[in-house]
Copies of this chain bind each other. A is one copy, B any other.
Amino acid sequence: MNSANPADLRFSFTGFAARGGLTDHHGDGFGVGFFEDKACRLFMDNQPASASPVADLLKNYAIKSRNVVAHIRKATQGDALRLENCHPFTRELWGRHWLFAHNGDLQGYRPRLDGNYLPVGSTDSELAFCDIMQTLRAVNPPMCSDGATSVAPCSLDKVFDALHEVTQRTAEHGVFNFLLSNGQAMFAHCSTRLWYLVRQWPFSNAQLIDADLSMDFAQTNASNDRLCIIATQPLTRNEHWQQLEPGQLLWIEGGHIVRREQLRVSDEVRRKNEENLACV
C-alpha cells in the first residue's frame, strides 16, 4: 500500500490475513512492515496469519502509514518455518530503511554479491534483495560523514532506472513479483500476477473478498486521501482493480503511479512463468 496521507490498514489486513491459511494456502508465516515517516516497524510470525496473535494485534491496533509491505508465505525455497526466511526483508541504505517482499521462485540464481549486503536466511528472495540494494547503492555510494552531515539523497528517478536494470536481469531466472519501499515511494514489479487499485475521491463502500466485512470509505476518508493497493489478487469486491501485464515495473508515490516501465520479457521466460503460474 502507498498513500498520500497516513492510512490505517486494518480493514485490508483483515482480508489479507485470512489468506494466510484460511481462504488461501499461504500458511508458512507472514510479515508486515509499516513505515511511519522514516521509521520502519516490522511485525512477523511463523504462525499462519489467520491464526497468529501478532496478526490479531495488527487487526486491532491502528498504525497509520504511507507505505506498507505485507507478505504471506508459501515456502518454495529455504526452510519453511524459519523466521529468518520470512518476508519482508529489511536493510539500510542512504540513512533510510528499505523493505522488500517477493512472490515467486528464482532458478539457477547466483548473483555476485559485493559484501555490502549479505543474506541472513536461505531464500532466493533475500539474495535478490541484497542484489537490488547493492545495485542501488552503487548508483550513489554513501559518502564519508562526520555524523552531523546528512547524506546526499539519491533521486528516485535514478533509483527507478537502476531498479529497471537489476529487475530485468533477475527476472530472467523465473517468477519475480516484488514490492520494494524506502518509506517515500513504493516500487512494484509484476512478473506473472499483480493487481492494483487506486482508491480516491469519491469514496464508496468496499466489501472484502476473504472475510465478511465491508467498509464505507465515504464515511472515513477525506477528499484529499488517495491510496494505491498492489496485491497478488484483488482484496475487495466492487472496486476497480486492474491487472498488470507481465514485465510492468511501477513507481508509486502519494497514491499515484508516477512512472511505469515495460521490461522486456523473453518468450522462454514468459512460457516458463506461465507454466509455473498454472501449477500454483
Contacts and interface: CB of A to CB of B under 8 A. Distances in A.
Interface of A: 36-44, 53-54, 57, 60-61, 82-84, 86, 90-92, 94-97, 109-121, 127, 141-148, 151
Contact of A109 (B82, B90, B144, B147): B147
Nearest to A94: B118
B54 A145 contact: no
5 contacts: A40-B120, A90-B90, A96-B120, A112-B146, A118-B145
Given A41-B42, A110-B147, A115-B143, 11 more contacts: A36-B83, A39-B84, A40-B84, A53-B60, A54-B57, A90-B90, A92-B120, A95-B119, A111-B146, A114-B144, A115-B142
List the 8 closest A-B pairs by CB distance, nearest first: A115-B142, A39-B83, A39-B84, A95-B118, A110-B147, A113-B145, A38-B84, A53-B61
Nearest to A56: B57
B44 A54 contact: no
A162 to B, nearest CB: 17
A86 B143 CA distance: 25
A92 B95 contact: no
B142 A118 contact: yes
Contacts of A96: 120
A252 B184 CA distance: 39
A142 B130 CA distance: 13
Contacts of A119: 95, 147
Contacts of A90: 90
B121 A38 contact: yes
Given A38-B84, A39-B120, A97-B120, A146 B110 contact: yes
Contacts of A84: 36-40
Nearest to A145: B113
Contacts of A148: 110
B147 A112 contact: yes
Given A97-B120, A120-B96, A145 B82 contact: no
